Chains A and B, each alone.
Chain A
Amino acid sequence: MAGPERLTKTVPGNEGIKQKRETMFRITLRKFMRNKLAVAGAVVIFIVVLAAIFAPWLAPYDPGHQYLLDKLAKPGGKYPLGTDMLGRDTLSRLLYGARVSLLVGFVSVAGIIFIGTIIGAIAGYFGGIIDALLMRFVDVVISVPSLFLLITLVTIFQPSLTTLIIVFALFSWPGTARIIRGEFLSLRSREFVLAARTMGVRSSKIIFSHILPNVMGPIIVTATLQMGYVILAESALSYFGLGVQPPTPSWGNMLQDAQNITIMISAWWYPLFPGLMILLTVLSFNFVGDGLRDAFDPKSIE
């Protein structure tokens, strides 16, 4: 971001530049707002994030307290969304679970984007042997089915919140790196990069201040889509008891009891709500990601 700011100070007529930057943002926003599904997704995400932040004030009960007399209570009445097999209030657990699921999502995605962007940028910008080596490494990691890798690593290091985040961040970045590399590859021979190089700007500065701002679109889109992936992956690991460990509620581990067919039949509402929350949240992130991709795409119809 430092680059354009300095430009506005030295080049006369900076208002023009500033205005142009603003209209770019507005064009993107306008395109995004036209996509109704994406806007709906953004609203849902906003609500879920707010619910997660204010969980302690919104939750009617303590999420860990076991009301043993009210096991598997039906939704409605005392417990708006019923209780689980230990008599814990489902609504309260969903609210606190949102915190955990979103935390795992945000932190892992931050890690994925950080590593993926740096590796992708280095490979795409320098090219040659560095690119070849890094991309062959990416090929190797991508070839191993991700669930295999995740299950192996989580069982080796004992499942916990921290393990999950580290494993996601360390082994899910190759896809992102590929995308970022492609962007850098096409940008590195453009005139503004050549100009900067001719003027003797350091490589690290060209990468981060000159090229990176132009790649923000794909980065944001990838990050949004990765959120959905991580939330789903956490729930899949939770199905095997390898996700966030109880008693800490996450949407994934709330579904763990759904494996019990008698519960599925006698108390259908209990696995239903966490499943719906995962579905709704992942769906929203995917809608927003798709909407952003179209909005950032200069070729898409305005």
Chain B
Amino acid sequence: MITYIIRRILVSIPLLLGISILSFLIIQLAPGDPTSLFLDPNIKPEDREAFIEAYGLNDPVYIQYFHWLWQILHGNFGQSLIMHGIPVSELILGRLPNTLLLMVSSAVLAFIISIPFGVLSATKPYTLTDYTVTTASFIGVATPSFWIGLVLLMFFAVKFPIFPSGGVATLNAPFSIWDRLHHLILPAFVLAASDMAGLTRYTRSSMLDVLRQDYIRTARAKGFNSRKVVYKHGLRNALIPVVTIVGLIIPSFIGGAVVVENIFGWPGIGNLFLNAAFQRDYPVIMALTMISATLVVIGNLISDILYAIIDPRIEY
């Protein structure tokens, strides 16, 4: 098991290198001279040269890449080009906890809501209940998430102001858990909504597979009541693939965070990324692309390891 985990971690290293090359090259595609974006056009030529020299913009691309890679391995993502002088790592570290809080709460919410519906659907297949759950999850997949976000914002924050319309906490108020939760519920629900549908359908099919197994029939034949069979024998096994999927929904959560953070003014990395993209703050874009892809790789790693731990049938 330990060797499997170590091997699995080692395999991720070339993947991360590939991701760093991709994040670096995309920015190199950008047309035009980066200095023209950030410097006063009336600047003296010597100062402009100094700027180019300071950022190493005259070096060959691969040198720039290795230089950048060397720096990020030391935790230095450079400085923001827009917010002069502020280190990128500082910008990101200030916002990452907010995004992680949002993502973790959304993941919990998504599992709490979708697993019961998936089980319900699977225990009564091809009935009205099943069709309702299935259709609802299809609709959930097909609706733009910003639209859900805006509609909920309109109803629950503006028309009936049950929840605040944005931010992580009430301004200038002392810290309180309730206040934080109050601000968290709406964005976390919107972010969860995009993945609930898929999770429900996944739980349903996993549960259907398990309920078809011989040991379930044996348990029933032995006279256990139906509930016990479904929940004790069925659900435990059906949840194996469902739990491991937690690592696989990270990419859509990160993408979704960009949308949700924008709607609810949530100061996380999604909003930071959006501002950086619009202002072409390349060091920030590269760092965030790299970090979000790393989160995805870690997510996959967790999925695989969880699978190995939970499912004793798998030997490595």
Using CB atoms and an 8 Å cutoff, list the residues of chain A in contact with chain B: 37, 136-137, 139-149, 151-153, 155-157, 228, 232, 235-236, 239-240, 252, 255, 258-259, 261, 264-265, 271, 275, 278-279, 282-283, 286-287
A27 CB to nearest chain B CB (Å): 22
A150 CB to nearest chain B CB (Å): 9
Determine whether the beta carbon of A275 is less than 8 Å from that of B147.
Answer: yes
5 A/B residue pairs, CB under 8 Å, sorted by A: A136-B15, A145-B292, A145-B293, A279-B142, A286-B142
Q: Which residues of A contact B139 (CB under 8 A)?
A: 279, 283
Q: Which residues of A contact B22 (CB under 8 A)?
A: 140-141, 144
Q: A136-B18, A137-B18 are in contact. Are A148 and B144 (CB under 8 A)?
A: no
Q: A140-B22, A146-B251, A156-B30 are in contact. Are A265 and B292 (CB under 8 A)?
A: no
B166 CB to nearest chain A CB (Å): 11
The range of chain B's interface size is 35 or more
Provide the bound-state CA to CA distance between A144 and B294, in Å. 8
> Is B280 interfacial (CB-CB < 8 Å)?
yes
- Produce 1/0 per residue, B1-38, CB < 8 A to A: 00000000000001100110111001101110000000
Determine whether the beta carbon of B146 is less than 8 Å from that of A236.
Answer: yes
Provide the bound-state CA to CA distance between A275 and B22, in Å. 34
Interface hub of A37, A141, A143, A151 (most chain B Cβ within 10 A) = A143
Nearest neighbor of A275 in chain B, beta-carbon distance: B147
Determine whether the beta carbon of B150 is less than 8 Å from that of A151.
Answer: no
Q: Which residues of B contact A265 (CB under 8 A)?
A: 154, 158-159
Please report the number of residue pairs spanning A and B whose Cβ atoms sit closer than 8 angstroms. Answer: 131
Question: Mostly helix, strand, loop or mixed at chain B's interface?
Answer: helix
Q: A144-B23, A153-B26, A258-B147 are in contact. Are A228 and B296 (CB under 8 A)?
A: no
Determine whether the beta carbon of B144 is less than 8 Å from that of A156.
Answer: no
Q: Which residues of B contact A144 (CB under 8 A)?
A: 19, 22-23, 289, 292-293, 296
Q: Tell me which of A240, A252, A271, A279 contacts B150 (CB under 8 A).
A: A271
Determine whether the beta carbon of A151 is less than 8 Å from that of B293.
Answer: no
